[in-house]
Structure 1
Amino acid sequence: MSAAAVRDPGLQPERTELSWGRTLLAILAADLLIWRSWAVAASQPVPAPDPASNYIRWAGAATTDFLGVCALAAMVATVVLCLCVLVRVRQLRHSSHAPPASLIRWAAAGVIVLGAAAVAAIALGR
């Protein structure tokens, strides 16, 4: 199928727009859970200084830092996906063409990054 292939005229753009909206809502919920896990980890008190617990303090700080990286990656992925949704909804309203391959690539990259951030946040969570 070519990049400028025309969509099936029987498909309803309204249903497609609603499904994009539901997907975006689920993505935002996953993003908020990742941010929550980072906030909870950052609010944990640091153990009292003890030479034997140096590793525990370092591991706790590293976990918080890595959860912060996961939260940042999730936020960037969510912004990319929001932009993909806005572009696709605009395209659905004004044309009957199939989505461009670049839009699908950006959306796929955003989903992969968000999924990786969610898996990492779950693995790093306490």
Structure 2
Amino acid sequence: MTVPPAPGEGRPARDPGLQPERTSLAWRRTVLSLLVLDLLVFRAWLLAIEGRGAHGPGIVAVLGVCAAAAVLATAALATCARVRARELRHGTTGPPAVVMRVATASFALLGLATIAVVVLGR
């Protein structure tokens, strides 16, 4: 019975193929789709400001906070995408844990802001 070599010992270098490019493109597509979501959140906020609906000043403020949260989340995700693309150009190692934590928190924040806009925008 043979024992497989430990990572980095006696193994040939991994051929990344097109995987880094596909990953980079996926991050870009995700950021573009989130920008569209941001625009929808802003639209709901602007419509509430203009008074096109039965929204009080409290709802307008909450929608403004949701719009700000959406912008912050998308900016953080765009930064994560940029960092990840830069890392993929230099190798095929996994993303740092902090990048994935920031991306996950940003997705959660953007999701909560979108749900709040949908619920409050009715």
- Structure 1 residue 103 corresponds to structure 2 residue 99: yes
Cα distance per residue 1:24-46 (max 9 Å; x no partner): 11111111100110000001179
How far did 1:79 drift? 0.6
Cα distance per residue 1:35-93 (max 9 Å; x no partner): 110000001179xxxxxxxxx7xx61111000000000111101100100000000001
Structure 1 stretches of 5 or more lacking a match?
A: 47-55
CA RMSD in angstroms comes to: 2.3
> Within 5 A, what are the aligned runs for 1:1-126?
9-10=16-17, 12-44=19-51, 60-126=56-122
Preserved contact between residue 7 and residue 97 of structure 1 (Cα < 8 Å)? no
Q: Which runs of 4+ in 1 moved over 6 A?
A: 5-8
Q: How many Å separate the matches in 2 of 1:35 and 1:7?
A: 45
Task: Give 1 or 2: higher helix fraction.
Answer: 1
Q: How many Å separate the matches in 2 of 1:84 and 1:93?
A: 14
Q: 1:66 to 1:29 in 2, by over 3 A?
A: same
Q: 1:28 to 1:45 in 2, by over 3 A?
A: closer
Q: How many Å separate the matches in 2 of 1:7 and 1:73?
A: 40
State TM-score, norm by structure 1.
0.80
Report which structure shows greater RCO (CA 8 Å, sep ≥6).
1
How far did 1:7 drift? 7.6
Paired residue total: 111
Q: 1:8 to 1:69 in 2, by over 3 A?
A: farther
State TM-score, norm by structure 2.
0.82
Look up the SS of the partner of 1:74 in the other structure: helix
Aligned twin of 1:52: none
Q: How many Å separate the matches in 2 of 1:44 and 1:73?
A: 22
